[in-house]
């Protein structure tokens, strides 16, 4: 079981090193200078990058946890305790994903209100 988990982890991580040059960084290049981000547009870009990275990570982890819960469900068909645990994992993953997506929606609405963006994405104002 541990070997399979390590193999899965290696298969997920190794390709990311090959594509590392094409992955955008979270901190914009203009914010790497002395004094940090020079203007509000750079801060908006930084905030958008952080939000996107968090959402991507949450979706990937949710998919892995859904697969894990499905594996638990399929391997514990005769064991009612295992089936109950698998259903709890499914439920907790759905609740976590809903919380993350709703929090993103709240952040988006609040930032739109601050910058006065009604129809454009708030990070496209600059």
In a domain, 83, yes or no: yes
Residue 8 lies in a domain: no
Give the per-residue pLDDT at 32.
Answer: 77
Structure confidence by residue, pLDDT tens digits, 89-119 = 999 999 999 998 898 888 878 877 776 666 6
**pLDDT tops 90 at residue 85:** yes
Domain total of the chain: 1
Cβ neighbors of 42 (< 8 A, separation 6 or more) are 28, 30, 31
Residue 97 lies in a domain: yes
Whether 51 maps to a domain, the answer reads yes
Q: How confident is the model at residue 22 (pLDDT cuts 50, 70, 90)?
A: low
Question: Which has more confidence, 90 or 53?
Answer: 90
Q: In sequence order, what DSSP letters do the residues of the chain get, joined into one string?
A: -HHHHHHHHHHHHHHHHHTGGGSPPSS-GGGGSTTS--SHHHHHHHHHHHHHHHHHHHHHHHHHHHHHHHHHHHHTTT-HHHHHHHHHHHHHHHHHHHHHHHHHHHHHHHHHHHHT-SSS-GGG--
Residue 95 counted as domain residue:
yes
Structural domain contains residue 54? yes
Domain extent at residue 102: 39-126
20 within domain boundaries: no
Residue 1 forms part of a structural domain: no
């Amino acid at each position: 079981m541990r070997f399979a988990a390590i193999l899965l982890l290696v298969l997920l991580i190794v390709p990311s090193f090959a594509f590392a040059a094409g992955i955008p960084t979270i901190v914009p290049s203009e914010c790497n200078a002395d004094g940090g981000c020079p203007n509000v547009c750079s801060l908006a870009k930084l905030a958008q990058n952080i939000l996107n990275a968090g959402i991507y990570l949450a979706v990937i982890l949710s998919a892995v946890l859904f697969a894990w819960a499905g594996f638990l469900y399929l391997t514990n068909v005769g064991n009612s305790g295992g089936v109950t645990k698998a259903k709890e994992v499914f439920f907790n993953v759905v609740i976590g994903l809903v919380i993350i997506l709703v929090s993103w929606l709240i952040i988006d609405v609040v930032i739109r209100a601050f910058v006065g963006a009604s129809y454009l994405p708030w990070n496209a104002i600059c």
